[in-house]
Structure 1
């Protein structure tokens, strides 16, 4: 059923108060909601900026809904001032991100911001050991330790959400989330809850719009990944293949791309000795090995645990010499045509369609290989393609996109003070931050998120936002929180103008709303708000 074919009258629905409109919400939510670009360029700030998007007469707000976490009046004003192509160029290059003072203050006050990561992890390890010794005698120490891990995980998730909502570098924030999902780590294993914030901050975000080789290397060398996929247990004569397998299957080449079980085993040998050390002391070893020992925070390369024999991976001999083997292998994997295809297809699924054409993926993969894994260059080849332009407005939002886009629209210019409701909504919608247990990450395809149950829960989120959710502005331990601002929806000229482009069925529902809160709920629950 299409949006245009859906009218409320057809179903005989009588609009009721907002507390009694779940049936209407389900129907709204279940409804489904090209010119050839010219190769023109001009010079802006000494850098070539194409005119492809302007030449194709792309709808600016539809473009915003795809390359940002959600269009709002502020981002629309910024795009129109710069022009679509220049705005895209700015997003691909990244800028110094200045957050609203109230948002930056929240991030600055976090433990994960204030404390050096290695010191934090060493202190946590001391607490864990003490709690373990007191187990059965004083279990409060163990509970306190677990609560601290959860608190640090919430800080990391909050920081990500605040940046997603308020950062001007929207494409960088989207790509940070994309790569966090690509290099997925489940928060329920060991002490990963305390590791994930640093993984995003030091491994993912600085490389999200950089070079894939550098991004891959940063993930391999981070303790969060090494612990999650058991490489901290991988040692000579005691091989653990878990990480090596996922490194080839999920992070680079993909399933069925030509590597063998033997390649996995040889890669596992390369990765021996790469692990985690939360103790401040350096392990004792012979002088010749000590020279090869590497420590960076709580990451360590321990040569005592490394297999120094020669390896053969993808028909290439890797001579045993310790840490330098890794760079050789990362270069080998990142330059594989299969890797270029795998990464390009995944990007196209995220940004274009559940079923991108082979022609588009091949074009992106070719650019990947030509630029040695330059991520912005690959993205640009996709963003300027006719297939991407034709897809605007049709990609179904996963829960993260739905929640963040709703907040960006509803509270544009008003800094939220508590992401707790947002985290709860994501949990309710099945996309908890770093909650995917398997290393493949959350699906970006519509079939994973378009069930009737999911749509009903999204309507509950829409009602909560429409009713001016006070939890978003409640500061912990604050006796009397200030009156929260009203969502900038029904009274926003930008939103009202956008609603005029909605389907006849949605516009009829909005016209029959009995209150501003009801109008807001109908808008946020509309089929058009389910897509980007």
Structure 2
């Protein structure tokens, strides 16, 4: 591969070797949720930075201090059972100032609908209101992405934040459809976060009832005598049992009948219907179960009869799906792929699936089985980072203890690497394996990002940074998905004033980082020792094969 560098010419050949190594498959080198803390990780003497790189979005001195205070096994237990995390005051202030934090989803969507209707009245004469409406949708989408990145960077509950992204990806909703940009912040906040380490059935139900999912997969148009199977198919194929889970097309059709009547209603008033139907009408926020639109006939799903009686059918079916061995296997395999290996063993998946079924879908209990496995311990340092992991790990390490007031560069870096938050167009979510992200083009972009971060003040600490060129304008490269140009926007004004002297990276002077670097491969250490400035050392460290893995 060819990569252009502005560092010392003498380092170029070595850097190319290091970057080429990033795309290798790996570097060469049963409790229940409320049970006692094991000592598995302590006995294994796992390297703290490697364990932290797997349990968190990226190891840094702050997370090391938290781990050392209680030991690795107790730290894991705390991550699996998180308490409310107190964010730095300046970060919390940014989140509190957001529209999505101050306005309920029903009020927000009613306001937006009024703006949309007003723009429709001007259609053909003045395009101003339509543009303003679209800009507001994008602004709200950016708020949701910014809130996620701030929590990922600063929250002490790092495993919860990783699981928050994992489930947002599992129950993927693309932000480009209709007005979903305005709903995604609430979807994450109300449907995903409260259940990210809880019971899978509760998580599944929360996603089914959220208007963002009902709109994305067209179930708001699913009604008796006008069946739309789209959501039913994805609910079985992508959300629960998996494509080879043993269900049939007839099961999909019957599930679609169960889902009839589940939709969205912006009105505050109950629609007119027969008195007997009013008794089973349900309205929660924007979600509506409309009995006149529901198919009340009996259904046959996975060999079980579901008596037609309204919303109660849904809970019966979700319980049925969440307790299927195929669901336990599918979810366990996906978790193991995310946290352990692109090819986790059948033995590990079977053990996790068994725990999933025995605990009635307890996500934390399933994860505990995985984290205490020898396969997980042996995998530390070998799992290739997707773009989000790479970017967050670099920022968390380089600017630990500093207050980011502008996530614009972070959002643009994700666009450049092809993993924009909520940017996956298909409902399957982003790939979790190395081959999706280890192309030469991806490595080139990552090195450019490493240089930007290592150079100091890459726009994270001021609000007037111009946006990077749209990713869609860049040549397509294997393993990358260019984000739509419209999604790369100028940074929003933060709640804080920019710092007079933005913090400078101090990786080369950090005892933690220097100690960590001594465990790198001889090839990486040789290149680091050849650097002539702290900035060069920072860039080489962030672009090293070891920083590409977790």
Interval of TM-score (by shorter of Structure 1 and Structure 2): over 0.9
Distance 1:495 1:219 in 2: 41
> Superposed, which structure 2 residues align to 1:232-311 within 5 Å?
232-311=220-299
Q: Distance in 1 between matches of 2:53 and 2:505?
A: 19
Distance 1:20 1:277 in 2: 65
Offset at residue 516 of structure 1 (A): 1.1
Aligned residue in 2 for 1:528: 546
Instruction: Indicate which of 86, 106, 114 corresponds to 1:126.
Output: 114
Measured in 2, the distance between the counterparts of 1:487 and 1:450 equals 26
Of 139, 147, 151, which aligns to 1:163?
151
Partner of residue 181 from structure 1, selected from 169, 178, 198: 169
**CA separation of 1:485 and 1:262: change in aligned 2, threshold 3 A:** same
Answering whether residue 418 of structure 2 is matched by residue 430 of structure 1, we say yes
Equivalent of residue 29 in structure 1, options 19, 34, 45: 19
What per-residue deviation string (whole Å, max 9, x for no partner) do you get for residues 305-339 of structure 1? 10011101001000011011000000000000000
Q: Assess, with a 3 A threshold, how the Cα gap between structure 1 residues 169 and 469 changes in structure 2: closer, same or farther.
A: same
Q: What is the match of residue 504 of structure 1? A: 522
3-state SS, counterpart of residue 439 of structure 1: coil
Which residue, 89, 93, 98 being the options, matches 1:105? 93
Q: Which residue of 2 aligns with 1:488?
A: 506
Conserved? CA contact 1:122–1:280, under 8 Å: no
**Structure 1 residue 469, shift from structure 2 partner:** 3.1
Aligned residue for 2:462? 474
**How far apart in 1 are the matches of 2:387 and 2:349?**
25
Mapped to 1, the partners of 2:10 and 2:209 lie a distance apart of: 53
The separation in 2 between residues aligned to 1:398 and 1:477, in whole angstroms, is 28
Helix, strand or coil: the match of 1:473? coil
* d(CA) in 1 for partners of 2:193, 2:433: 24
**C-alpha distance in 2, partners of 1:427/1:477?**
20
Q: Which residue of 1 aligns with 2:314?
A: 326
Q: Rate the CA distance shift 1:152–1:25 in 2: closer, same or farther, 3 A.
A: farther
Q: Retained in 2: the 8 A contact 1:474–1:481?
A: yes
- Mapped contact 2:11–2:530 kept (Cα < 8 A): no
Residues 253/40 of structure 1: CA separation in 2 closer, same or farther (3 Å cut): closer
| Change beyond 3 A, Cα 1:300–1:14 | closer
| Aligned mate of 1:516, from 525, 534, 542 | 534
1:317 is paired with a residue of what secondary structure? strand
Q: Is 1:455 matched up with 2:473?
A: no
Which residue does 1:5 correspond to in 2?
Answer: none
**Aligned mates of 2:399, 2:130 — CA distance in 1:** 39
- In 2, the alpha carbon distance for the partners of 1:356 and 1:434 equals 26
Structure 1 residue aligned with 2:46: 58
Q: Is the 8 A contact 1:470 1:484 kept in 2?
A: no
Bigger drift between 473-482 and 326-335 goes to: 473-482
Shift of the alpha carbon at 1:117?
1.4
Q: Work out which of the residue numbers 151, 154, 159 in structure 1 matches 2:142.
A: 154
Q: Is the 8 A contact 1:25 1:459 kept in 2?
A: no
1:17 pairs, out of 2, 7, 10, with 7
Name the counterpart of 2:216: 228
Q: CA deviation at 1:27?
A: 3.1
TM (normalized to structure 1)? 0.93
- Residue number in structure 2 paired with 1:6: none
1:281 aligned counterpart, secondary structure: coil
Q: Report the 3-state secondary structure (helix = DSSP H, G, I; strand = E; otherwise coil) of the residue aligned with 2:283.
A: strand
Shift of the 352–120 alpha-carbon distance from structure 1 to 2, 3 Å rule, reads: same
Q: Deviation of residue 96 (structure 1)?
A: 1.5
Q: Assess if the C-alpha contact under 8 Å between 2:60 and 2:396 holds in 1.
A: yes
Distance 1:109 1:477, change over 3 A: closer
In 2, Cα distance between equivalents of 1:61 and 1:138: 57
Provide the rounded CA distance (Å) in 2 between the counterparts of 1:195 and 1:294: 20
Deviation at 1:356, TM superposition (A): 0.3
* Alpha-carbon shift at residue 481 of structure 1 (Å): 5.5
Deviation of 1:514 (Å): 1.8
User: 1:135 maps to what in 2?
Assistant: 123
Q: Secondary structure at the match of 2:74?
A: helix
Q: Call closer, same or farther: CA 1:287–1:500 in 2, change over 3 Å.
A: same
Distance in 2 between the 1:229 and 1:283 partners? 24
Q: Post-superposition shift, 1:415? A: 1.2
Do the aligned residues in 1 keep the contact of 2:15 with 2:527 (CA within 8 Å)? no
Shift of residue 488, structure 1, vs aligned partner: 3.2
The match for 1:4 is none
SS in 1 for 2:460: helix
Q: C-alpha displacement at 1:231, in angstroms? A: 0.3
Deviation at 1:490, TM superposition (A): 1.1
Give the unaligned 5+ runs of structure 2: 464-491
RMSD: 2.1
Partner of 1:81: 69
How far, CA to CA, are the matches of 2:12 and 2:222 in structure 1? 53
Higher relative contact order (CA 8 A, sep 6+): 1
Following TM superposition, by how much is the alpha carbon of 1:365 offset from its aligned partner in structure 2, in angstroms?
Answer: 0.2
Deviating more after overlay: 439-448 vs 487-496:
487-496
5+ long unaligned stretches in structure 1: 1-10, 34-38
Q: Any conservation in 1 of the 2:409–2:458 contact (CA below 8 Å)?
A: no
Alignment partners' CA distance in 2, 1:257 and 1:142: 44
1:92 corresponding residue in structure 2: 80
CA distance in 1, matches of 2:44, 2:493: 52
TM-score by length of 2: 0.90
